[in-house]
Structure 1
Amino acid sequence: MIVIALFIGALALLFLGFEMLLVLGLPGILTKEIFYSAVPEVLYGQKLVGGINHSTLMAIPFFILAAEIMARGNIARQLTNVVKAFLGHHAGGLGLSMVAASAAFGSVSGSAPATVAALGRILYPQMREQGYSDKFSLGLLISSAEVALLIPPSITLIIYAWLTGTSVAALFAAGLVIGLFLSAAFAVYVLIYARRHGLGGTARLPFRERWHAVRKGMWALGLPVVLLGGIYSGFFTPTEAAAASVVYALLIELLVYREMKFPDVARIATSAAITTASIFVLLAVGSLVAYFITLAQVPNMVIGFMESIEANWIVFLLIVNLLFLVAGMFIDPNSTLLILVPALYPVAVSFGIDPIHFGIIVCLNTCIGMITPPFGLDIFVASSTLNESVAKIISGVTPFIVVNLLTLVVVTYVPDLSMFLPRLLAP
């Protein structure tokens, strides 16, 4: 009864157009008042504040600020120039450069919307000039940008780690592998498209020009080395690496590239603060919802249902993927995690699914949700950034959704793909 009330209440508010804060919060509050009235009112404050009082979450505001600095500064352009210098002359070179640049920028930003905004302004006009169709270029842009949610420093994986108590470093290791695997899948599709449409590359640059691009982009290339090298060497915790990335990005933009001024930093910090506040409000409300999900014994109900239909881990993961894919069509990734992970994670553990593998499955599903109509966030980011219609973007992204789904099947049912690097790095 409680579960039905929560679900119906949230669904009604969602389709009535309420903000996700209310979609998550009001059903939880009503559930408490109707079914758990004996629980003291102080519970609200304890769960809202205590839920986000976690050291793991301290990395999020730093990574958001670093992403804003890099997206509005020169780091994205320098990374793109390095990638183009080495890939641009191949068949489909600009498309391959888009994929590689998205992975590179994602490795220092952790934000798919920031990747869309930063690289869309740089590479989208160039792809159109080189003969790529508008639809293909838009689809490739927002699809390759989603890799930022997988490749460290992924904010999505940090939130999953907070929800489940899983090691952030181990999730980052698995996310790096799957992020590169997904990028490779997009690259294969780009090559097929390029050969089918006779799209060649730009002129091969001589060694001197390539070296010049590397030298100019060396400071930008140093950022992922600082981040990932610091984390996996044990020199930084993920939170310390996040803070270091902000300092490094500021120093590069202000003192090396010098296109950003101190007044710009204040505006960027304000924008990052607004984004951070919106995420943390959702996380606080989500912790309240997770409490009621646990109190109502929803995980035990799911386990009981799985036993009644004699389901195994294969069927369970199929159901998980379907739930996340449908939720991703209507809800932002963070809200999807807050709603589904508390109920499904204990069930996954009961089936013997490794928390790291389950986290990567969940994260890849949220990636797909970012580009899935009708409400994929990156679709609207690209539309507003590039002044293109949502209908055109949806048409262009459809083939890439198929590539994503094929990748999801492989990642779901080949656990070793996600697990081999975390196992290799385990002490």
Structure 2
Amino acid sequence: MIAALSLSFLGIMFIGAPIMVALALSAVVALQSSGRPLMIVLQTAFQSLDSFSLMAIPFFVLAGNLMQSGGIARRLVGLANAFVGWIRGGLGAVAVITSMMFSTVCGSSSATTAAIGSTLIPAMQRKGYPKAFAAATAAASGELGAIIPPSIPMVVYGLAANVSVASLFIAGILPGLLITLSLVITVCVVARIKGFDEVTPINLRDWLWGIWSAFRESILALLMPVIILGGIYGGFFTPTEASCVAVIYGLVVGMFIYKEVAFKDLLTVLGRSAVMSAIIMLIVAFAAVFAYLLTINQVPQQVAILLGKITDNPLIFLLLVNILLFFIGMFVEALAAILILAPILAPVAVSFGIDPIHFGMVIIVNLAIGMVTPPVGVNLFVVCQIANLKLEQLIRPLLIFLAVLVINVAIISYVPALSTVLLGY
């Protein structure tokens, strides 16, 4: 069964089928080859979606779309520009910082890339940035949507590995800030070396006044993550209930305060959210079937035995996991990879004495990098469409960001305190 499952999955992916189709059809082929009833596919898919935690996904998607349509992205760009727009490489730094802030209301890497990239890639071009570098900056920054809470991959990992989603949200804060800082430094260093985005002189009074004006304009946008995360950590509501609060907040702000979302726009927002949510849920459902077939064939136990023979050192184990996840992230969509790999690797990590929350961050950050690695990096296709570029034109500037992100993965992997210190241990 495992041979049929693996070969059919790789074959279907090779011909260019969507990941959810590859997961579903490979499960059907595997069951057919073993003579088991195909009803298992429908039963397992349904059971995997019958989860209170998963209800958070469509609501966070809708909240992100409401905030994007309601002018939140534009106001966050203005705030970030007030802080760092005056330094060399400042506009690229604005793209990174705005992506970080927008991630706190979105939860999706591709949505963050689309929202920020559509605004800032043309602006960076006008200021002298090479088009490919501007697009690579937006794509790399967009991965923060999967790391900064509230994050859809964190919700899915919490379900797959049976760990607290709220704890994962807390654990993602410092790694997200580390990646943000490293990307800002990278953009500024490259801008200085290449000589684009010249410094705009500004005095202290004008700078402080600009920050204050932008802060007043964006205060309601900044309050959303405070309400969501503060409510979760304060014990007022669960992550799923927080997603509903986010929708109500986004609707009120966009329609009645900023007045940038009209009633006629709601149908478009709801439709876009429904399609995105349906795609995510189909991936979750059929990845659960795939993971179920792996589990009943004792693949997790076999992997644990194999890794135990290779090494008994947790540091070497993390190195092997990072290499595995990097290559898997190049070919498999992040949510599907989490649902397939988390039930296999998480118990093995615990047996090595690795904290399950810390290991969750290692998996999520690795697979977030998969959003910006060819051939199937979703963020790359988003920015290529925005900037009217071919994928191969992005490779050279993208390598700089990938090197920085790999260093970040190593730090997050081998400094567990980054993920656990805010949890109190």
After TM superposition, the score normalised by the length of structure 2 is 0.94
Aligned partner (choices 135, 160, 164) of residue 161 of structure 2:
164
Aligned partner (choices 46, 49, 57) of residue 52 of structure 1:
49
Instruction: Give the match for residue 97 of structure 1.
Output: 94
CA distance change for structure 1 residues 298 and 49 in 2, over 3 Å: closer, same or farther?
same
Query: After superposition, where does 1:11-410 map in structure 2 within 5 Å?
Result: 11-35=10-34, 37=36, 42-198=39-195, 199-204=197-202, 205-410=206-411
- 1:259, CA displacement in angstroms? 2.1
Distance 1:373 1:142 in 2: 12
Instruction: Give the match for residue 411 of structure 1.
Output: 412
Distance 1:370 1:224 in 2: 23
Distance 2:44 2:230 in 1: 35
Segment of structure 1 superposing worse, 23-32 or 177-186: 23-32
Instruction: Give yes or no for contact 2:135–2:384 (8 Å, CA) kept in 1.
Output: no
CA distance change for structure 1 residues 208 and 192 in 2, over 3 Å: closer, same or farther?
closer
Matched to 1:262, the amino acid is F
Distance 1:89 1:407 in 2: 27
Instruction: Give the match for residue 5 of structure 1.
Output: 4
Instruction: Give yes or no for contact 2:70–2:255 (8 Å, CA) kept in 1.
Output: no
CA deviation map 1:3-48 (0-9, x unaligned): 33321121111112222223112222233333363xx555333311
Matched to 1:393, the amino acid is L
- 1:311, CA displacement in angstroms? 4.1
- 1:318, CA displacement in angstroms? 1.9
Distance 2:69 2:395 in 1: 26
Distance 2:275 2:324 in 1: 30
Instruction: Give yes or no for contact 1:161–1:167 (8 Å, CA) kept in 2.
Output: yes
Unaligned runs of at least 5 residues, structure 2: none
- 1:154, CA displacement in angstroms? 0.4
Give the number of aligned pairs. 421
CA distance change for structure 1 residues 343 and 377 in 2, over 3 Å: closer, same or farther?
same
Instruction: Give yes or no for contact 1:63–1:246 (8 Å, CA) kept in 2.
Output: yes
Distance 2:61 2:276 in 1: 8
Distance 1:297 1:401 in 2: 35
Query: What's the RMSD between the two structures over aligned residues?
Result: 1.7
- 1:295, CA displacement in angstroms? 0.6
Runs (4+) of structure 1 exceeding 4 A deviation are none
- 1:411, CA displacement in angstroms? 1.1
Unaligned runs of at least 5 residues, structure 1: none
Matched to 1:187, the amino acid is V
CA deviation map 1:381-412 (0-9, x unaligned): 11122323322223321110010111111111
CA deviation map 1:246-265 (0-9, x unaligned): 11111111112212211111
Distance 1:52 1:239 in 2: 14
- 1:135, CA displacement in angstroms? 2.2
What SS class does the counterpart of residue 200 from structure 2 fall into? coil
What SS class does the counterpart of residue 88 from structure 2 fall into? coil
What SS class does the counterpart of residue 331 from structure 2 fall into? coil
Instruction: Give yes or no for contact 1:89–1:201 (8 Å, CA) kept in 2.
Output: yes
Distance 1:260 1:237 in 2: 28
What SS class does the counterpart of residue 329 from structure 1 fall into? helix
CA deviation map 1:285-325 (0-9, x unaligned): 12212111111001111111122234422222222222221
What SS class does the counterpart of residue 217 from structure 1 fall into? helix
CA deviation map 1:63-110 (0-9, x unaligned): 111111222330000011011112112232212211111100011111
CA deviation map 1:313-363 (0-9, x unaligned): 222222222222112212211122122222222211221211111110111
Distance 1:304 1:51 in 2: 27
Segment of structure 1 superposing worse, 321-330 or 194-203: 194-203
Matched to 2:28, the amino acid is I
After TM superposition, the score normalised by the length of structure 1 is 0.94
Matched to 1:348, the amino acid is A
Matched to 1:192, the amino acid is V
Distance 2:320 2:96 in 1: 30
Distance 1:253 1:220 in 2: 10
Instruction: Give yes or no for contact 1:71–1:114 (8 Å, CA) kept in 2.
Output: no
Instruction: Give yes or no for contact 2:141–2:183 (8 Å, CA) kept in 1.
Output: yes
